[in-house]
Amino acid sequence: MAAPQSPQSILKDAFQRLRDSVTPSDALRFDTTELKDVWDAAEEIQKSQRERQSLRALGRIKPLLDNLERYSRVIEVLCNGTPYLPWIWAPIKLMVQLASNHIKIFEMLLDAYSQIAWAMPHFDRLRGAFSDDENFKVIMAMIYSDILEFHQRAYKFFRRKAWYKLFESSWKSFEGRFGGILANLSKHKDMLMKEAIAIDIVEARRWRARAAEELDKKEKERDQIYISDTLAWLNVHQEDQDDELHRLLNRRQSGTCHWVFRHPKFISWKDDTRADRVLWMNGIPGAGKTILCSYIIEKLQHESQTTTAYVICNSYTQGKNIVSENLRSLAAQLLRANRDLVPHAFDNYANKSLPPSITHVKKLILDLLNIIQETRIFIDGLDEYSISQQRSMLTEILPFAKVSGGECKIIISSRNVPDISNKLKNRPLISLRDEYSGVEGDIQNYLNEKLQELRERFEGKDRETKDILDLVTLKADGMFLWVRLILKELESCYSMAELRKTAEELPKGIEEAYGRVLRRVTEEMNPKDYAKAIRILEWLACSCRLMKMCEVQDGIVFDADNLVLDDETKLSPDVLDICKPLIEEGPNKTIDFVHYSAKEYILDRVSGPLLQEARAHYNIAFSCITYLNTAVCFLPPDSSAEDAVLTRVAKGFHGLHNYANEYWFQHLLQCAQDLVDLDASGVMDAALRTLRDGYWKGRPGHTAESLKLDDTTTANEIYEQLTIFRDLDHVRQMGTDMQTFRAHLVQERHAHEMAAKHHAYELKHDPTHFSQISHRYQEVVLSLLTCQLDDVPSSVDQKTLVEFRKVYGESEFTCRFHDCPFHSDGFHTIQARNDHELSHVKTLRCADPTCEFFARGFSSKTGLLKHNRKYHPSPDEAQLPDFVPIHVRPQSQGNGVRQSRKCGRKEADGAFVSMTVIVARYS
């Protein structure tokens, strides 16, 4: 423990803390404010309020000012030769002046001041009694410290942008701390009432330290609740976006992208307050827009004044409400970067049981943008969305640039496509096409770096090599992607002549480059490999989310001739190499196209089209369903063959489980229109019948009837969606069960349940075996990931187990909430999964952060309503006689009728009831 502080050093610390937290001009003002100035200001306010027929100021602030005056006489000696004294009262003047135009805030402030006055000791009785006593001086200094702490914390709420909008929620979040300050004051009062000699200063210090610690802890807990509840309300899973940004940043060649910070249009967007706040960056596919954008984001993230928020658009958005998702993500990013705004979001949105609809989230974002000084929003790759999504994104996002409170600037990067161009044509534009010098320099850098080995190969012929690389740069025509596609061709040149010839014959433009790569994939391959290549591309082009390598590798095994995945049919992971460089490995063992445009190319007429979407979905659906038919082994009685099942999983025969389980029906829907034609051979029909027999507990289509949906819209939507299977009754019925049950699970009434309870409910009510099989599958995976290496059945050798952990260990623990991206692509440990799941549970909380039931929360709305009725009645409901005695209440001003909100909360030491509401107005 530190040495006990002298009274002088207590004063100095308190003074310094407050002084450091106010603006220099306010500090100057405080230095010279006299108590009389505060009186004058209060009188002034009173006068103007009298004109407005309201009388609030003077009477209620009088006790505090009187008491401060007496207090100042006591500590004057201690403050001799210092600037400390005026700071006891000077902030009061500033705050009452600022608050006087906002009646409710003014009320709250005056209420706080009267509480302080009541809690403070009565100096008139004390004056001169034991002014030389050292203990007495310490107590006096502590009181100074308490008062200044109040000023310091309250000042923060007044001196920020649009402070009055945030005041109520901030003040509410301050109540716990304020209660602590009051408790301190009244404790000191108690001590002073005793003889000075009896003051146990050691105990007083200890008590103070303990109370401060307790408050810090509580405040931390409360802040955690604010942020986690608010993020849960927004239902955002930022992990995805962060990973993506990180991946993009890693792909940037060092030395590239700097040019943009020297670009006049960029500089004016960034720094000029009068410039257009929206900047459009466009370029052809593969020009490096995304990398450039991620570079700018990263740079600006390091500027302390600026809040950045971004959306990296990608095409895996089928069936999602992408606009709403993106808005929620933006709101979450703004809040994460501005934690002091979280209480506002919590109070006005998250804890109000409002749905996180576009309307509400947009309003929240506007609130935030009006307060945050500088915000920079990035929407990258907008053209990857469908046309209607592009339009609605722009409609929702562009108005953000118009806020007047803060300064919100937006960069949108995309290809030059008509719908975006129409909306942005009058905005400043950086077209990467025009930035030859910048982009070309970057490409040269990139080539030099990537072809390091080649240059070494031709050492001594630097000049010729350089000429050839210059030619390649010229041909690249500003397209990074093109360079990535042709690198391999250059790398495989071993003579100067070869290199020169290859460089001269390089394909022109992205499409030709794709064409050439594809020809290599398709024409120069044997039919067996060709079939595999097509299946791989189908999976990547039409999957519902980003795929893992092992999933694609297993997915392409199933076809009409092969319905099993076992030792005989399992493919080696190298199989994916046949599609390179059209596809490439991503983070977390994922695999994707080298660029979005590659996917477009192979689905486009230019390429044939190489793939037909309906057939791709048909093939994927078939793989999923056929896989699922092999997964019935997880059901009893088969699961009694425990070891066999464990072995199958360890050998990687069930790696497709999470994906197939989640998306099989989605893919079936996508090819429903052509299903009858596509399935001329009847293999799909057979697979579906096997699925029905293996998975349905009862008769399909009827089991769902017992499940209630909150709204008929959802039921109708499901019915509408399934009419596409009108000729296939059994499929329609299976679909009804599937979709109804899923909709049932994500309903509001399940929103407050903890994951385990929710999962138990799912297992119990699922009309099919899907839940149970997945549950069992995860249990098996868990045992394989956590068991001792030699603690597995003899049929699994250690090498297999180690390999299993390496390939599948990263993401097998899926989130148990259905409307979550991690439902089909999970976490690497149960703990990580459980932590994540907490973000789904929308806790219903008491709105009073000092109430015990704020932290505890309620599991049902009824519970919360009951609690509110009993402990937090609205003023009309309040039973007036229910007073709680307050320690000392000065006779002169007993007009404020106080009522404690107790809610089972333990009172602070000193029995001072700190949290009070004014029920009857002071008059």
Residue 696 makes contact with Zn ion by CB under 5 A: no
Identify the residue among 150, 158, 480, 822 touching Zn ion (CB under 5 A).
Answer: 822
Count CB-CB contacts under 10 A for residue 124.
13
Report in angstroms how near the CB of residue 832 gets to Zn ion at its nearest. Answer: 11
Minimum distance of Zn ion from residue 27's CB (angstroms): 39
Cβ at position 908, least distance to Zn ion in Å: 16
Cα-based torsion angle of the residue sequence 673, 675, 678, 683 in order, rounded to the nearest 10 degrees:
170
**Does residue 350 touch Zn ion according to CB under 5 A?**
no
The answer to whether the beta carbons of residues 680 and 846 sit under 8 Å apart is no
CB of 292 to Zn ion, least distance (A): 32
With a CB cutoff of 8 Å and minimum separation 6, the contacts of 400 are 365, 366, 369, 375, 377, 408, 410
Residues in the chain: 923
- Span from 402-410, 454-462, 536-544, 813-821 in contact with Zn ion (CB under 5 A): 813-821
Distances (CA, A) of 685 to 88, 439, 581, 770: 83, 53, 36, 19
**Contact between residue 252 and residue 291 where contact means Cβ atoms under 8 Å apart:** yes
What single letter denotes the amino acid at residue 23?
A: T
Looking at the Cβ atoms of 515 and 863, the one nearer to Zn ion is: 863
Residue 199 Cβ vs Zn ion, minimum distance, rounded to whole Å? 36
Identify the three-state secondary structure at position 655: coil
Tell whether residue 846 is a contact of Zn ion (CB under 5 A). Answer: yes
Q: How far is CA 336 from CA 204, 333, 835, in A?
A: 38, 5, 18
CB burial of 547-578 (b: ≥16 within 10 Å; e: otherwise) equals bbbbbbbbbbbbeeeebebeeeebeeeebbeb
Taking the C-alpha atoms of residue 371 and residue 368, their distance in angstroms, rounded to an integer, is 5
Tell me whether residue 193 or residue 865 sits nearer to Zn ion (CB atom).
Answer: 865
Phi and psi at residue 129, to the nearest 5°: -60, -55
Q: How far is the CB of 317 from Zn ion (least distance, A)?
A: 18
898 near 918, Cβ under 8 Å? yes
Q: Which stretch binds Zn ion (CB under 5 A): 86-94, 610-618, 822-830, 906-914?
A: 822-830
Q: Tell me the two tokens of residue 101.
A: 């135009």
C-beta closer to Zn ion: residue 284 or 846: 846
The number of residues that bind Zn ion (CB under 5 A) is: 10
CA neighbor of 228 nearest in space, from 875, 888, 845 = 845
Nearer to Zn ion by C-beta: 682 or 904? 904
Of 62-70, 189-197, 250-258, 843-851, the segment contacting Zn ion by CB under 5 A is: 843-851
| 138-146, 509-517, 685-693, 842-850 -> range binding Zn ion (CB under 5 A) | 842-850
Smaller CB separation from Zn ion, 229 or 489: 229
* Nearest distance from C-beta of residue 826 to Zn ion, angstroms: 9
Nearer to Zn ion, 174 or 853 (CB): 853
Q: How far is the CB of 920 from Zn ion (least distance, A)?
A: 22
* Least distance from Zn ion to the Cβ atom of residue 777, Å: 18
C-alpha 639/C-alpha 632 separation (Å) is 9
Question: Is the Cβ of residue 702 or residue 870 nearer to Zn ion in the bound state?
Answer: 870
Return the residues of window 849-908 that contact Zn ion according to CB under 5 A.
851, 853, 871, 903
Give kind and range of the element (H or E) at residue 854: helix 852-856
Task: Supply the minimum distance, in Å, between the C-beta of residue 413 and Zn ion.
Answer: 29
Residue with Cβ nearer Zn ion (506 or 820):
820
Place of tokens 């009522």: 899
Shortest approach of Zn ion to residue 7 CB, angstroms? 40
Interface with Zn ion in residues 718-747 (CB under 5 A)? none
Distance of alpha carbon 112 from alpha carbon 149, whole angstroms: 13
Compute the least distance from the CB of residue 240 to Zn ion, in Å: 11
Residue nearer to Zn ion on the CB measure, 276 or 907: 907
Q: State whether the Cα torsion 32-37-42-46 is positive or negative.
A: negative
- CB–CB of 283/289 below 8 Å? yes
From residue 772 to residue 811, what is the string marking binding to Zn ion with x (rule CB under 5 A)? ----------------------------------------
Dihedral Cα 155, 160, 163, 168, nearest 10 deg: -50
Residue 382 to residue 411: CA distance in whole angstroms = 11
What are the helix (H) ranges across 121-252? Answer: 123-126, 134-158, 163-193, 201-234, 239-251
Is 734 within 8 Å of 692 (Cβ atoms)?
yes
Give the integer Cα–Cα distance in Å for 594 and 248: 12
CA 891 to chain centre: 52
Q: Which is nearer to Zn ion, 309 or 815 (CB)?
A: 815
The stretch near Zn ion (CB under 5 A) out of 83-91, 126-134, 838-846, 915-923 is: 838-846
Residue by residue, DSSP assigns 659-704 as HHHHHHHHHHHHTGGGHHHHTTT-HHHHHHHHHHHHHBSS-TTTGG
Q: Please, which residues bridge with residue 411 across strands?
A: 279, 378
- Asked if 820 interacts with Zn ion (CB under 5 A), we say yes
Shortest gap between Cβ of 817 and Zn ion (angstroms)?
5
Residue nearer to Zn ion on the CB measure, 226 or 871: 871
Nearest to Zn ion of 152, 868 (CB atom): 868
Cβ-based nearer residue to Zn ion, 136 or 817: 817
In whole angstroms, the minimum distance from the beta carbon of 898 to Zn ion comes to: 17
**Nearest residue to 118 via CA among 910, 920, 919, 923:** 910
815 forms part of the interface with Zn ion (CB under 5 A) = yes
In the complex with Zn ion, which residue's Cβ is closer, 458 or 663?
Answer: 663
Residue 126 near Zn ion by CB under 5 A: no
* Chain centroid offset of residue 462 CA: 50
Give whichever of 813 and 871 is closer to Zn ion, judged by the CB atom.
871
Residue with smaller CB distance to Zn ion, 232 or 903: 903
How many other CB atoms are found less than 10 A from the CB of residue 879? 8
What letter represents residue 859's amino acid? S
Residue 609 beta carbon to Zn ion: minimum distance, rounded to whole angstroms: 36
Which H or E run includes 471? helix 462-476
Whole-number minimum distance, CB 758 to Zn ion, in Å? 11
- For Zn ion, the closer CB: 188 or 901: 901
Minimum distance from residue 871 beta carbon to Zn ion (Å): 5
Cβ nearer to Zn ion, comparing 545 with 595: 545
**CB within 8 Å of 534: residues ≥ 6 apart:** 610, 611
Q: How far is the CB of 918 from Zn ion (least distance, A)?
A: 18
Q: Does 232 bind Zn ion (CB under 5 A)?
A: no
Q: Which residues in the 170-209 window bind Zn ion by CB under 5 A?
A: none
Q: Which residues bind Zn ion (CB under 5 A)?
A: 815, 817, 820, 822, 846, 848, 851, 853, 871, 903
